[in-house]
Every structure is written in C-alpha cells, then in structure tokens.
Amino acid sequence: KAGVTQTPRYLIKTRGQQVTLSCSPISGHRSVSWYQQTPGQGLQFLFEYFSETQRNKGNFPGRFSGRQFSNSRSEMNVSTLELGDSALYLCASSPDTQRGETQYFGPGTRLLVL
Amino acid sequence: DQQVKQNSPSLSVQEGRISILNCDYTNSMFDYFLWYKKYPAEGPTFLISISSIKDKNEDGRFTVFLNKSAKHLSLHIVPSQPGDSAVYFCAASRNSGYALNFGKGTSLLVTP
C-alpha cells in the first residue's frame, strides 16, 4: 500500500500571503489529522477530519483551516501568514474502524515564511 | 501546557546495549500511548503502542512499559543498533481519539 503523501514538500511564502497544503491518506483510511512541528513547541495537533467533517480541533487561531473531500484527501489552508507559521506541517491518516488506532504520518510539508 | 513530557533531550548508547527512553504525562484521562521514531526530513514512523489496560507491550527489540500510577511510560530497545539513531517521540491520546499529544522528543544516538 502506498503511504501518506503530502504536496508540496517545500514551500516559501511571504508574510500576509496564504497557503494551501495537500494530503492524500493511505487507501482505505478515513481519518486525516494535521500537526504542526516547530523547534520550540514540538508537534502540536491542528485538527482532524473524518467523512468530510472536522471532528477534533487543537488550539490554533482561525487563520488555520482545513477540509476533507469525499475521497478522504484533505487540504489545509493558512491565511495571512506570519513568520511564526514557519514549520513542518505533518498529515497523518488512520482507518478509524476501532478505538485506539495508530496514525500513520506523511513526510510533511516544510513551510518557510519570509 | 505540555501534557506529555520527555525530559531527556538526548541519549547516547553503545551498540548492543539497552536504550531506555522515558516519558511522563500529566493528564490521567489519557488511555492510549504510542512511540514514534523520526528521521530528519521525514514524518514520524509508528513504532509501538500500548493501551492503558496493559502495563507492557513487546514487539521484537522494542518493549513499552506503562506505569499508570506514576503516569510514566518507557521504551526499551534491546539490543540497540546504529540504525536506531533517530528522534523518538512519545504521544498520548484520551478516549482513544485522534488528537495525539506529543512530547518534544529524545534524540537517541547509538554508537558502534
């Protein structure tokens, strides 16, 4: 089975711009979660989508949003970029057929905001 | 606030010896715990997990121990190999949900 894929892998934007990141989960996985990794804060949960609905949300401002399509692919959008948004954004997918399932991560999108 | 803590940022172990990575948590509602391994420029790779109804789970060279009363878990790698050199993250979730709370990671170096 192919793993979780994320595009693009690297991105450079300037302050005030917006960005959209894409994630394709493992085939058959219905849950997609997004995380932000920074040196200071570590890995932090952004949000989780299941069946095109946001099911869980972390403590991030409204500039961070996402959506999931009927084929389980997900996109994440960050508007009005700030320097502090520079981070590795990771997507993870899970089958969501039972409790306590493992999440499988993609390679991430490295975003640099100048 | 950091609900999952890995207090050792780094650990160096000789090849063949045991590596012990530690993790503490503060939220007693956590009921599912995982360890991930991460290489630079890659996403975390799942290693091993444990449910709160167990106190030990083994998978080959990797064993995770859970001490609920102390809110502590540890990952044992025996024997350690140079390929195990990576950053190890401890993660926890409540109600077996999907919002994983991560520690800040421990960088393990296994020397020949």
Q: Could you report the per-residue pLDDT of B9-40, keeping only the tens digit for each?
A: 999 999 999 999 999 999 999 989 999 999 98
A62 HSE (CA, 13 A, CB side): 0
Chain B residues with CB under 8 Å of A100 CB are 31-32, 49, 51, 93, 96
Question: Which 3 state secondary structure label does DSSP give B102?
Answer: strand
Average pLDDT over residues B57-80: 97
Average pLDDT over residues B68-94: 95
Instruction: State yes or no: pLDDT of B108 exceeds 80.
Output: yes
Question: Which 3 state secondary structure label does DSSP give A21?
Answer: strand
Q: Could you report the per-residue pLDDT of A82-107, keeping only the tens digit for each?
A: 999 999 999 999 887 555 567 889 99
Q: What percent of chain A has pLDDT over 70?
A: 95
Contact check, Cβ <8 Å, A100/B51: yes
Instruction: State yes or no: pLDDT of B95 exceeds 70.
Output: no
Q: Which of A45, A106, A108 sits opposite B100 (nearest CB)?
A: A45
Query: Do residues B40 and B51 touch, judged by C-beta distance below 8 A?
Result: no
Contact check, Cβ <8 Å, A90/B49: no
Q: What are the tokens at A80?
A: 């009005």
With an 8 Å Cβ cutoff, is A31 touching chain B? Answer: yes
DSSP 8-state symbol, A85: G
Specify which residues A107 forms β-bridges with: none
Among candidate residues B101, B43, B8, the one with its CA nearest the CA of residue A41: B101
pLDDT at residue A65 in the model: 96
Contact check, Cβ <8 Å, A90/B97: no
With an 8 Å Cβ cutoff, is A105 touching chain B? Answer: yes
A53 HSE (CA, 13 A, CB side): 2
Supply the DSSP string of B49-96, one letter for each residue: EEETT-SEEEETTEEEEEETTTTEEEEEESS--GGG-EEEEEEEEETT
Instruction: State yes or no: pLDDT of A6 exceeds 60.
Output: yes
Instruction: State yes or no: pLDDT of B41 exceeds 80.
Output: no
Average pLDDT over residues B67-89: 97
Q: Is the dihedral of CA A60, A85, A32, B1 positive or negative?
A: negative
Instruction: State yes or no: pLDDT of B96 exceeds 60.
Output: no
With an 8 Å Cβ cutoff, is A103 touching chain B? Answer: yes
Query: Do residues A68 and A50 touch, judged by C-beta distance below 8 A?
Result: yes
pLDDT at residue B97 in the model: 60
Chain B residues with CB under 8 Å of A54 CB are none
With an 8 Å Cβ cutoff, is B62 touching chain A? Answer: no
pLDDT at residue A55 in the model: 86
Q: Could you report the per-residue pLDDT of A21-69, keeping only the tens digit for each?
A: 999 999 999 999 999 999 888 889 999 998 899 988 899 999 999 999 9
pLDDT at residue B109 in the model: 98
Residue A50 and residue A35: Cα distance in Å, rounded?
15
CA A111 to chain centre: 12
A50 HSE (CA, 13 A, CB side): 12
Q: What are the tokens at B47?
A: 């290693």
Contact check, Cβ <8 Å, A43/B102: yes
